[in-house]
Amino acid sequence: MKRIIVLSMIGFVLFVFGVYVFYTAWFEISSIRLVNSTRWTFVVGIVVCFIFNRFWGAHGFFHTFTHELIHALACLLCGGSPIAFQATSKQGGAVVLNRSNFFVTLAPYIVPLWSIVALITFRILIWLKAAHVALPYVSFLTGFFMMYHLHSLWYTMRPAQPDLKKYG
Protein backbone atom coordinates (compact mmCIF):
# COMPACT_ATOMS: atom_id res chain seq x y z
CA MET A 1 0.00 0.00 0.00
CA LYS A 2 2.83 2.37 0.88
CA ARG A 3 4.47 1.62 -2.50
CA ILE A 4 1.28 2.56 -4.37
CA ILE A 5 1.07 5.85 -2.47
CA VAL A 6 4.71 6.66 -3.25
CA LEU A 7 4.25 5.76 -6.94
CA SER A 8 1.12 7.88 -7.09
CA MET A 9 2.94 10.82 -5.53
CA ILE A 10 5.86 10.49 -7.97
CA GLY A 11 3.44 10.26 -10.89
CA PHE A 12 1.55 13.32 -9.67
CA VAL A 13 4.77 15.35 -9.24
CA LEU A 14 5.98 14.37 -12.73
CA PHE A 15 2.59 15.23 -14.22
CA VAL A 16 2.55 18.63 -12.50
CA PHE A 17 6.08 19.27 -13.74
CA GLY A 18 5.02 18.39 -17.29
CA VAL A 19 2.08 20.79 -17.07
CA TYR A 20 4.42 23.46 -15.69
CA VAL A 21 6.84 23.02 -18.60
CA PHE A 22 3.91 23.16 -21.03
CA TYR A 23 2.62 26.38 -19.42
CA THR A 24 6.10 27.92 -19.39
CA ALA A 25 6.59 27.21 -23.08
CA TRP A 26 3.15 28.73 -23.81
CA PHE A 27 3.98 31.81 -21.73
CA GLU A 28 7.40 32.30 -23.31
CA ILE A 29 6.12 31.99 -26.85
CA SER A 30 3.02 34.08 -26.27
CA SER A 31 5.02 36.90 -24.67
CA ILE A 32 7.03 37.43 -27.86
CA ARG A 33 5.54 40.27 -29.88
CA LEU A 34 7.18 39.59 -33.26
CA VAL A 35 4.16 37.88 -34.79
CA ASN A 36 0.57 38.22 -33.56
CA SER A 37 -0.36 34.71 -34.67
CA THR A 38 2.25 33.02 -32.46
CA ARG A 39 -0.30 31.84 -29.91
CA TRP A 40 -2.44 30.35 -32.62
CA THR A 41 0.41 28.47 -34.25
CA PHE A 42 1.25 27.04 -30.81
CA VAL A 43 -2.37 25.90 -30.38
CA VAL A 44 -2.46 24.54 -33.95
CA GLY A 45 0.66 22.51 -33.11
CA ILE A 46 -1.12 21.05 -30.08
CA VAL A 47 -4.22 20.19 -32.12
CA VAL A 48 -2.21 18.66 -34.98
CA CYS A 49 -0.26 16.50 -32.53
CA PHE A 50 -3.48 15.41 -30.84
CA ILE A 51 -4.97 14.40 -34.22
CA PHE A 52 -1.66 12.79 -35.24
CA ASN A 53 -1.55 10.71 -32.05
CA ARG A 54 -5.22 9.81 -32.33
CA PHE A 55 -5.09 8.46 -35.86
CA TRP A 56 -1.47 7.41 -36.41
CA GLY A 57 -0.29 6.88 -32.85
CA ALA A 58 2.97 7.71 -31.14
CA HIS A 59 3.64 4.28 -29.72
CA GLY A 60 6.02 3.09 -32.40
CA PHE A 61 9.67 3.50 -33.15
CA PHE A 62 9.88 7.29 -32.71
CA HIS A 63 8.36 7.12 -29.23
CA THR A 64 10.71 4.33 -28.13
CA PHE A 65 13.72 5.99 -29.77
CA THR A 66 12.99 9.29 -28.01
CA HIS A 67 12.51 7.57 -24.65
CA GLU A 68 15.81 5.70 -24.85
CA LEU A 69 17.65 8.71 -26.31
CA ILE A 70 16.64 10.81 -23.31
CA HIS A 71 18.03 8.13 -20.98
CA ALA A 72 21.32 8.20 -22.92
CA LEU A 73 21.55 12.02 -22.95
CA ALA A 74 20.75 12.22 -19.23
CA CYS A 75 23.52 9.69 -18.56
CA LEU A 76 25.96 11.85 -20.56
CA LEU A 77 24.89 14.93 -18.57
CA CYS A 78 25.63 13.03 -15.34
CA GLY A 79 29.13 12.05 -16.47
CA GLY A 80 28.37 8.55 -17.70
CA SER A 81 28.27 7.07 -21.17
CA PRO A 82 25.87 4.80 -23.02
CA ILE A 83 27.27 1.36 -23.80
CA ALA A 84 24.46 -0.08 -25.95
CA PHE A 85 21.32 1.43 -27.48
CA GLN A 86 18.32 -0.40 -28.92
CA ALA A 87 14.94 0.91 -30.03
CA THR A 88 12.32 -1.07 -31.94
CA SER A 89 8.73 -0.34 -32.82
CA LYS A 90 7.33 -3.66 -31.61
CA GLN A 91 9.60 -4.91 -28.81
CA GLY A 92 10.33 -1.64 -27.07
CA GLY A 93 13.84 -0.49 -26.34
CA ALA A 94 16.71 -0.59 -23.94
CA VAL A 95 19.82 1.39 -23.29
CA VAL A 96 22.77 0.03 -21.33
CA LEU A 97 24.57 2.71 -19.35
CA ASN A 98 27.73 2.65 -17.29
CA ARG A 99 26.13 5.01 -14.74
CA SER A 100 22.57 5.58 -13.65
CA ASN A 101 20.74 7.50 -10.97
CA PHE A 102 17.29 8.87 -10.18
CA PHE A 103 17.50 11.61 -12.84
CA VAL A 104 18.80 9.29 -15.59
CA THR A 105 16.06 6.76 -14.91
CA LEU A 106 13.20 9.28 -14.78
CA ALA A 107 14.49 11.78 -17.39
CA PRO A 108 12.09 10.62 -20.17
CA TYR A 109 9.19 11.60 -17.92
CA ILE A 110 10.65 14.99 -17.00
CA VAL A 111 12.46 16.25 -20.11
CA PRO A 112 10.42 17.23 -23.21
CA LEU A 113 13.42 16.71 -25.50
CA TRP A 114 12.00 17.81 -28.85
CA SER A 115 10.40 20.96 -27.42
CA ILE A 116 13.75 21.87 -25.91
CA VAL A 117 15.40 21.30 -29.31
CA ALA A 118 12.81 23.59 -30.94
CA LEU A 119 13.37 26.33 -28.33
CA ILE A 120 17.18 26.06 -28.59
CA THR A 121 16.85 26.33 -32.37
CA PHE A 122 14.74 29.45 -31.90
CA ARG A 123 17.36 30.94 -29.56
CA ILE A 124 20.03 30.32 -32.21
CA LEU A 125 17.81 31.99 -34.81
CA ILE A 126 17.46 35.02 -32.51
CA TRP A 127 21.25 35.30 -32.39
CA LEU A 128 21.35 35.03 -36.19
CA LYS A 129 18.66 37.72 -36.44
CA ALA A 130 16.31 35.37 -38.31
CA ALA A 131 13.76 34.81 -35.55
CA HIS A 132 11.00 36.85 -37.18
CA VAL A 133 10.88 34.40 -40.10
CA ALA A 134 11.02 31.21 -38.02
CA LEU A 135 8.80 32.16 -35.06
CA PRO A 136 5.52 30.69 -36.39
CA TYR A 137 7.26 27.41 -37.24
CA VAL A 138 9.06 27.19 -33.91
CA SER A 139 5.81 28.03 -32.12
CA PHE A 140 4.02 25.26 -34.01
CA LEU A 141 6.78 22.73 -33.32
CA THR A 142 6.93 23.65 -29.62
CA GLY A 143 3.17 23.16 -29.26
CA PHE A 144 3.33 19.93 -31.25
CA PHE A 145 6.17 18.46 -29.21
CA MET A 146 4.82 19.61 -25.85
CA MET A 147 1.60 17.75 -26.65
CA TYR A 148 3.71 14.81 -27.84
CA HIS A 149 5.52 14.78 -24.49
CA LEU A 150 2.26 14.95 -22.51
CA HIS A 151 0.85 12.15 -24.67
CA SER A 152 3.99 10.11 -24.04
CA LEU A 153 3.58 10.66 -20.30
CA TRP A 154 -0.02 9.51 -20.50
CA TYR A 155 1.01 6.43 -22.49
CA THR A 156 4.01 5.39 -20.37
CA MET A 157 2.98 6.34 -16.83
CA ARG A 158 1.79 2.92 -15.71
CA PRO A 159 2.81 0.79 -12.73
CA ALA A 160 4.38 -1.91 -14.94
CA GLN A 161 6.91 0.54 -16.46
CA PRO A 162 10.41 -0.66 -15.45
CA ASP A 163 11.73 2.89 -14.93
CA LEU A 164 8.97 3.66 -12.46
CA LYS A 165 9.36 0.33 -10.69
CA LYS A 166 13.03 1.03 -10.04
CA TYR A 167 12.48 4.32 -8.22
CA GLY A 168 8.93 3.79 -7.00
What span, in angstroms and rounded, lies between the C-alpha atoms of 76 and 78? 5
pLDDT, position 8: 66
Closest by Cα among 44, 24, 27 to 136: 44
What span, in angstroms and rounded, lies between the C-alpha atoms of 140 and 36? 13
Q: Is 92 left (phi over 0), alpha (psi -120 to 50) or beta?
A: left
pTM, two decimals, is: 0.69
pLDDT, position 4: 66
In the chain, the amino acid numbered 43 is: V
Helix 2-30 with 102-110: angle, nearest 10 deg = 50
* One pLDDT digit (tens) per residue for the chain, 168 residues: 666 676 667 767 777 777 777 777 767 666 655 555 667 888 888 889 888 877 776 567 788 888 889 889 888 888 888 888 888 877 778 888 898 888 888 888 888 888 888 888 888 888 887 777 778 888 888 888 888 888 887 777 766 777 766 665
